[in-house]
Chain A
Amino acid sequence: DVKVTQSSRYLVKRTGEKVFLECVQDMDHENMFWYRQDPGLGLRLIYFSYDVKMKEKGDIPEGYSVSREKKERFSLILESASTNQTSMYLCASTPGVGSYEQYFGPGTRLTVT
């Protein structure tokens, strides 16, 4: 079974803090994605990566950055957390190479106070 894990299920941070959310997949997948999910807005793509050290902006990259130093790990960084970044953050991966099924982690519910 493909397993996508996220470093925390719940996280509470203060405004202005630097926040790291980590995602690890164990199936040698090529592609990894970070989404945020908010009531009424659905899932929105923040960043994605097709390969190690590669990253592409999604629909809402402002206020976020990412890092993919190893194939299995994709980190989302909030440089200076703000209250409007309170959300559910979901990581996903796909095998790539013509395989499109997305596998999701359990999510991290981040609250910024």
Chain B
Amino acid sequence: KQEVTQIPAALSVPEGENLVLNCSFTDSAIYNLQWFRQDPGKGLTSLLLIQSSQREQTSGRLNASLDKSSGRSTLYIAASQPGDSATYLCAVTMDSNYQLIWGAGTKLIIKP
């Protein structure tokens, strides 16, 4: 059974730092992996989707990488800003059924 883990559960860094959030999964036979952002009390926003055949995806200051063989993905945030404070979740799809298996998330706080 696929399990998705995000460590640490919480992270606090000063504004301006580059940072990396981690996501690991136990079964490497994933179809794709998505990173989401959730602001307190709100729904989720999709940030990046990486297909299993891809190594990375970039959107603005965000870069997500995928290493299927090691069961890991990282979300790199460059030049962090207080507005980046949120919970970041990763989720994988195992096949073409569109269902997601979720990590518990990393709560990120960027201190001004």
Residues of A in contact with B (beta carbons under 8 Å apart)? 4, 31, 33, 40, 42-43, 45, 48, 50, 58, 88, 90, 92, 94, 96, 98, 100-107, 109
Q: Is the CB of B49 within 8 A of A100?
A: yes
Known: A90-B43, A90-B44. A102 touches B102 (CB 8 A): no
A103–B45 alpha-carbon span in the complex (Å): 7
Find chain B residues with CB under 8 A from A4 CB. 43
Known: A106-B42, A106-B43. A96 touches B98 (CB 8 A): yes
B26 at the interface (CB under 8 A from A): no
Closest to B101 in A: A45
| B92 → chain A closest CB, angstroms | 11
Closest to A31 in B: B98
Q: Is the CB of A102 within 8 A of B43?
A: no
Against A, the Cβ 8 Å flags (1 = close, 0 = not) of B24-46 are: 00000001101010000111111
Q: Is the CB of A100 within 8 A of B43?
A: no
Further contacts, 13 of them, CB under 8 A, given A43-B102, A92-B44: A31-B98, A42-B89, A45-B99, A50-B98, A58-B99, A88-B41, A100-B31, A100-B49, A100-B93, A101-B49, A104-B43, A106-B42, A107-B41
